[in-house]
């Protein structure tokens, strides 16, 4: 039935962005947040992970051919924060301890502000 209903239609494929579905900033926020989290806990690999976060953001901006607006930067910061907090809550729930959370959250907040050029985090 589907084949007969679409015989006259030349099928095409739209990406989720072109189709108007989803929010690309939320998709960018998850790996960006994970890189920033790992950077805090990365020990000697912190600079490599920080570089990867910058490369990810640079690649995204290059691909869309324009810089993030101030509104988009704040939205991305919010999405990254939500992603990091979700991981923190899961870690706390599964391990029963939140000893490293203040360090992780504070450092991610500072790194994110620098990464997005939002100025120093308070």
- For 36-45, write each residue's pLDDT tens digit: 888 777 677 8
**Rounded to a whole number, what is the largest CA-CA distance in the chain?**
62
Task: Tell me: pLDDT of 1 over 60.
Answer: no
Q: Which tens digit of pLDDT belongs to each residue from 59-96?
A: 999 988 999 998 999 899 889 988 888 888 887 878 77
How much is the average pLDDT of 14-40? Answer: 78
Q: How many CA atoms lie within 13 A of 22 on its CB side?
A: 12
pTM of the complete model: 0.70
Cα 103 to Cα 34, 40, 41, 65: the distances in Å are 15, 8, 9, 35
How much is the average pLDDT of 48-52? Answer: 85
Q: Percent of the chain scored above 70 by pLDDT?
A: 76
Cα 113 to Cα 15, 35, 42, 91: the distances in Å are 30, 14, 19, 23
């Amino acid at each position: 039935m589907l084949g007969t209903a679409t015989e006259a239609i030349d099928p095409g494929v739209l990406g989720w962005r072109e189709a108007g579905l989803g929010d690309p900033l939320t998709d960018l926020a998850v790996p960006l947040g994970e890189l920033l989290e790992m950077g805090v806990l990365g020990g000697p690999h912190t600079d490599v992970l920080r570089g990867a976060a910058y490369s990810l953001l640079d690649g995204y901006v290059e691909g869309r051919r324009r810089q993030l607006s101030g509104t988009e930067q704040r939205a991305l910061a919010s999405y990254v924060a939500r992603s990091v907090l979700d991981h923190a809550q899961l870690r706390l729930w599964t391990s029963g301890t939140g000893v490293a959370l203040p360090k992780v959250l504070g450092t991610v907040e500072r790194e994110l502000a620098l990464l997005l050029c939002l100025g120093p985090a308070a």
